[in-house]
Amino acid sequence: MEEAAALLKQKGLKVTPQRLAILNLLRNTKEHPTAETIYKKLASDFPTMSLATVYKTLEVLKNIGLIQELNVGEGSFRYDANTNSHPHLVCLGCGKVEDLDESVLQNLIEEVKKHTDYKLVEQKLYFYGYCPACQKKLSN
Amino acid sequence: MEEAAALLKQKGLKVTPQRLAILNLLRNTKEHPTAETIYKKLASDFPTMSLATVYKTLEVLKNIGLIQELNVGEGSFRYDANTNSHPHLVCLGCGKVEDLDESVLQNLIEEVKKHTDYKLVEQKLYFYGYCPACQKKLSN
DNA sequence: CTATCTGCAAATGTTTTGCATGTCC
DNA sequence: GGACATGCAAAACATTTGCAGATAG
Which B-chain residues 16-75 have CB contacts (< 8 A) with chain A? 71, 73
A102 and A56 fall within a common domain: no
pLDDT of residue B1: 52
Report CB contact under 8 Å: B111, A104. yes
* DSSP SS3 for A26: helix
B59 touches strand D (CB under 7 A): yes
Per-residue confidence band for A138, with pLDDT thresholds at 50, 70 and 90:
confident
Do B13 and B64 belong together in one domain?
Answer: yes
Residues B72 and B49 in one domain: yes
Q: Provide the whole-model pTM.
A: 0.85
Is A104 annotated to bind a ligand? Reply is: no
Provide the pLDDT confidence category of residue B75 given band limits of 50, 70 and 90: confident
Q: How many domains does chain B have?
A: 2
Nearest CA in chain A to B133: A118
A51 with A96, same domain? no
B66 and B17 housed in the same domain: yes
In which domain, by residue range, is B67 found? 2-80
* pLDDT exceeds 60 at position A56: yes
Q: Residue B126: give its domain's CATH number.
A: 3.30.1490.190
Residues A71 and A12 in one domain: yes
Q: Classify the C-alpha dihedral A43-A48-A52-A58 as positive or negative.
A: negative
Q: Does pLDDT of B116 surpass 70?
A: yes
Higher local confidence (pLDDT), A90 or A75: A90
* Burial of residue B19, with CB atoms counted within 10 A of its CB: 0-12 exposed, 13-18 middle, 19 or more buried: buried
Q: Examine the domain organization and report whether B21 and B68 are in the same domain.
A: yes
Point out the residue nearest to D9 (C-alpha to C1'). Answer: A52
Looking at the fold, whether B76 and B92 belong to one and the same domain comes out as no
Q: A98 and A37 in one domain?
A: no
Task: Tell me: do A11 and A44 sit in the same domain.
Answer: yes
Query: In terms of domains, do A33 and A95 share one?
Result: no
Summarize pLDDT for B27-42 with one digit per residue, the tens: 999 999 999 999 999 9
Protein-to-nucleotide distance from the CA of A54 to the C1' of C14, whole angstroms: 13
Confidence of residue B62 (pLDDT cuts 50, 70, 90): very high
Same domain, B48 and B94: no
CA distance B138 to chain A (A): 12
- The number of C-alpha atoms within 13 Å of A68 and in the hemisphere containing its C-beta is 14
